[in-house]
A and B are shown apart, each in its own frame.
Chain A
Amino acid sequence: MSSRLSGNEAVAYAMKQINPDVMGAFPITPSTEIPEYFAAYVANGEVNTEYVAVESEHSSMSVCIAAQAAGARAVSATSSCGLALMYELLYVAASCRLPITLACVNRALSGPININHDYSDSMGARDSGWIQIYAENNQEAYDNIIMAMPIGETPSVRLPVMTCMDGFITSHAVENIELLETDAVRKFIGEYNPEHYLLKKENPLAVGPYDVSAYYMEHKVQEAEAMKAAKSRILEVAAEFEKISGRRYGLFEEYRMEDAQLALVLIGSTAGTAKAAIDKLREDGVKAGLVKIRVFRPFPGEELARALAGTKAVAVMDKSEGFSANGGPLFAETCSALYNLKERPYLINIVYGLGGRDVRTEDIEKVFGRLADIAVTGETHPAYTHMGQRSREEETV
């Protein structure tokens, strides 16, 4: 059925269709609407979820960890500093192998405080052991939530899943969207019947041991193996999802990449802007293309290397600053994915859009202009730059 929803409402609606056992709820802009919409579903008896309105994001993630360990399906939503406050527990959730679903509405981290979009929050959590799936638009945000549980709950995976969408750009913009029937959603995600859980009568369970060096590394390697296993599971679930929705998903989306010589690698809603710019450039004969990363964890390194193997120059666009002095996180991943190719494209990194700074088609065209030069000259210096900075001479007030 067609509807018109904001990203936040689409996610909340998917959660309503799922009817999870427990929700840990705490407000933070721009994700606040998700627990708000959900509270209304609870108040109207449309779900019978145990809605726990806690006193911090640290506690909402703690509630989710405990509830999932107890045998329940737990969900939450957060943004920015809220995710940062959860960091300690994100690792606990993943290492306890608890397939919690978290809607992360991406927003810049403080400081200075800023409520608009970039990926500094979820990129900071990229090594926490969570699967991370990013949406370009409302439709993808909705679809990703529905795919999260079948991915995370699979025995070979059993990892928590963070579905990410761009704060305000996606979370608050209203778009046309195709919703599935609730019955179809419930059938797709199935019942959650874990093998072991705290409330299982026949067999008590202990969760969260003190793990000494004699065992810790085995546990971490198992977690790493689970993350590797997640890649094929994500594709399986996508294939099943296509059957009920008609919408196709992969680890990333390739746009006009068949014969592309110049390409962008980026995440999220900027893909829409980039696609428009690419269409225009293609009319001018520029062989431009785009790889939109959908799944950042597990990182599709081999697949990305294959997708970029035929290109001459690639700009990796990071919407978060990693302060590594060597480029952003997506750049680092892309470089390492491409390193073993016999013939590699030239790679540059452009950090852009921090704290919600707008990016327009003209900005993307400029990036392609630079890639065209690099393809000819081979000159990548400086390989790591920031888009659209005001000059020192310009008034800053």
Chain B
Amino acid sequence: MSTVYNLKREVEKPIRLTGGHRLCAGCSTGVVVSGVLRALDREDRAVVVNATSCLQVSTFMYPYTAYMDSYIHSAFENSAATCSGVEAAYNALKRRGKVEGTVKFITFAGDGGTYDIGFQSLSGAMERGHDMVYVCYDNEAYMNTGIQRSSSTPRFARTTTTPVGSVGQGKKQNKKDLTEILVAHNIPYVAQTAPIGNFRDLHSKSYKAIYTEGPCFLNVLSPCPRGWDYPMAMLAEIIKLAVDTCVWPLYEVEEGVWRLSYMPKKKLPVEDFLRPQGRFRHMFRQGNEWMIEEAQSYVDQKWERLLEHSGA
């Protein structure tokens, strides 16, 4: 791969996730999956592994698959173990001369399938050191079942299980920092990214994750127009705001070395990210100013820590 990223050249590669799948308009998941798979070298094959999710039901509804590569879905909570199994089979068959060429193993799961129910399976697979990439497309709630809170849902967000009422004010707890938990697994490569701008960040991190030997993890912010309640056309802008407010900083940890991937020219206030989203609407009601203040102070604190880690 040339070290200079060229979007035009990348999109000229044969497509690996075909159109016609059933993901919603304004959903980022298809963009994320295409973006990650595009990083595969042309001649390499992949086996795509998928947890039960919006992505799964939308891209492989019998008898149609949207994937040009082999694909397996087994259940909700076991996509990392499933990927381990495919990789183990590859090693065994390769050793016995029964499989040819390079095959890469890439898992996609939502935040419910990663932060929550699939967490044990993920942790186990990372510890065992399989040569695989695990991609969490993080849309911050159980969207496939209709917007229920997960441990990835940020504080104050309204979901159908953290509704806003006369007493309830959305989710009470902060978002679990899964990326840092994966860093603590001491695996070769962990990165936090998003499909932003010309996709350079997503592409280069995907490439590194796919072509670094051993278990690699990507956490990709993946807005959901239904769950986040923003106008469909705003997808790219919402992602940009998440990054420029430092709600979702872009960074990577390679062999234990932290590196900030993107320093906003001007760090925007968190409320710029919150305002366009219906899930945070109640935070802007009179008397709820404290929520925005607390959300800001939480983001600032996390951002400072990240700057410290990455020596930026």
Contacts and interface: CB of A to CB of B under 8 A. Distances in A.
Tell whether A pairs with B: yes
Interface of A: 21-22, 24, 48-50, 52-56, 58-59, 62-72, 74, 88-89, 92, 96, 198-201, 204-212, 215
Nearest to B46: A204
B71 to A, nearest CB: 4
B267 interface: no
A62 B86 contact: no
Given A210-B60, A215-B63, A69 B91 contact: no
Nearest to B84: A63
B103 A208 contact: no
A184 B85 CA distance: 29
B59 to A, nearest CB: 9
B231 to A, nearest CB: 28
Chain A interface mostly helix, strand, loop or mixed? mixed
A53 B128 contact: yes
Interface string B63-106: 10101111111110110011111101111110110111101000
A124 to B, nearest CB: 18
Contact of B121 (A55, A64, A68, A210): A55
A58 B86 contact: no
Interface string B217-252: 000000000000000000000000000000000000
B70 A50 contact: no
B84 A206 contact: no
B39 interface: no
B93 A71 contact: yes
Contact of B124 (A59, A74, A92): A59
Contacts of A55: 120-121, 123-124, 127
Interface in B120-155: 120-121, 123-125, 127-128
A377 B71 CA distance: 63
A169 B15 CA distance: 57
B7 interface: no
B61 interface: yes
Interface of B: 45, 47, 49, 56-57, 60-63, 65, 67-75, 77-78, 81-86, 88-93, 95-96, 98-101, 103, 120-121, 123-125, 127-128
Contact of A52 (B49, B65, B88): B88
B84 A66 contact: yes
Contacts of B120: 55-56, 59
Which of B63, B74, B90, B101 has the most chain A CB within a 10 Å cutoff?
B74
Contact of A198 (B72, B88, B98): B72
A62 B63 contact: no
B94 to A, nearest CB: 9
Contacts of B72: 66, 69-70, 198, 206-208
17 contacts: A48-B92, A48-B95, A53-B128, A58-B78, A58-B81, A59-B84, A62-B81, A63-B88, A66-B74, A68-B89, A70-B90, A72-B88, A72-B93, A74-B85, A89-B75, A204-B68, A209-B60
B49 A66 contact: yes
Contacts of A210: 56-57, 60-62
Nearest to B57: A210
Nearest to B78: A62
B93 A54 contact: no
Contact of A69 (B77, B81, B86): B86
B117 to A, nearest CB: 11
A208 B88 contact: no
Given A21-B93, A54-B124, A199 B70 contact: yes
Contacts of B93: 21, 70-72, 199
Contacts of A50: 88-89, 91-92, 95
A205 B70 contact: yes
In the complex, the 7 A-B pairs of residues with the closest C-beta atoms, listed nearest first: A66-B85, A55-B124, A70-B89, A72-B89, A63-B85, A59-B81, A208-B73
Contact of B62 (A54, A58, A205, A212): A212
Contact of B74 (A62, A72, A201, A205): A62
Contact of B81 (A54, A70, A201): A54
Contacts of B88: 22, 50, 52, 63, 66-67, 72
B65 A206 contact: yes
Contact of A71 (B69, B99, B127): B99
B85 A64 contact: yes
A206 B86 CA distance: 13
Given A55-B123, A66-B85, A206 B71 contact: yes
Contacts of A64: 85
A201 B67 contact: no
B81 A63 contact: yes
Contacts of A24: 85
A195 to B, nearest CB: 14
A231 B47 CA distance: 35
Given A55-B120, A198-B70, A201-B45, A21 B89 contact: yes
B85 A62 contact: yes
A394 B60 CA distance: 61
Nearest to A205: B70
Given A55-B120, A67-B88, A206-B72, A201 B82 contact: no
A82 to B, nearest CB: 14
Given A55-B127, A68-B89, 14 more contacts: A21-B96, A48-B92, A50-B91, A56-B121, A59-B78, A70-B89, A72-B92, A89-B74, A199-B70, A204-B69, A207-B73, A208-B60, A209-B73, A212-B61
Given A48-B96, A206-B60, A66 B75 contact: no
A50 B84 CA distance: 11
Contacts of A59: 78, 81, 84, 120-121, 124-125
A212 B58 CA distance: 12
Which of A55, A88, A92, A200 has the most chain B CB within a 10 Å cutoff?
A55
A69 B81 CA distance: 13
Nearest to A200: B70
Nearest to B48: A206
Nearest to A60: B81
